């Protein structure tokens, strides 16, 4: 699946599209107008984020509100899981922010994988790079559809 970036600043998002500790003026390393291959999605703190490779070549969980709206097919090889955060509310959401996750096997099956990506763990980055290459090969460009 590919999405086109329409905003790269968090100030363009409504308050409910940013996390509780998110900075209002965050600049995401994404380029407006470019297409990004999505290899996963997560619902954290009731905010839908997509996992893409940013302009620095690193994994980036970016709010879905930064991308063009539309209908997209979910890749057949993706997995899905409801996380314990789906039952959390109030204070519980602080300790269990993940409500759901979609994407490649390791992202869904290993609860620590997303955090390892954010921490730039070498093994997690290797998996991400491999899964991204597979997705780039199988995902048609938006202009081709």
Euclidean distance between CA atoms 125 and 116, whole angstroms? 8
Cβ atoms of 69 and 6 within 8 Å: the answer is: no
Nearest partner of 53 among 115, 135, 140, judged by Cα: 135
Euclidean distance between CA atoms 49 and 137, whole angstroms? 22
Euclidean distance between CA atoms 104 and 45, whole angstroms? 21
Nearest partner of 48 among 23, 19, 20, 22, judged by Cα: 19
pLDDT digits (tens, 9 = 90+) for 61-90: 999 999 998 888 899 999 999 887 676 666
What pTM does this model have? 0.86
Structural domain spans, the chain: 2-140
Please state, rounded to an integer, the average pLDDT across all residues of the chain: 88
Q: Indicate the range of 24-28, 46-50, 140-144 predicted with least confidence.
A: 140-144
pLDDT, mean of residues 48-70: 95
pLDDT at residue 19 above 70?
A: no
């Amino acid at each position: 699946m590919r999405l086109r970036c329409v905003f790269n600043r968090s100030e363009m998002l409504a308050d409910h599209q940013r996390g509780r500790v998110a900075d209002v003026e965050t600049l995401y390393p994404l380029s407006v107008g470019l297409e990004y291959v999505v290899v996963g999605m997560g619902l954290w703190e009731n905010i839908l984020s997509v996992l893409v490779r940013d302009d620095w070549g690193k994994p980036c969980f970016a709010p879905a509100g930064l991308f063009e709206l539309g209908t997209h097919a979910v890749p057949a090889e993706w997995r899905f899981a409801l996380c314990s955060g789906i039952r959390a509310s109030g204070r519980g959401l602080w300790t269990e922010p993940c409500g759901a996750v979609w994407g490649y096997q390791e992202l869904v099956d290993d609860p620590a994988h997303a955090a390892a990506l954010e921490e730039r763990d070498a093994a997690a980055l290797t998996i991400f790079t491999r899964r991204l290459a597979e997705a780039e090969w199988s995902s048609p460009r938006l202009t081709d559809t």
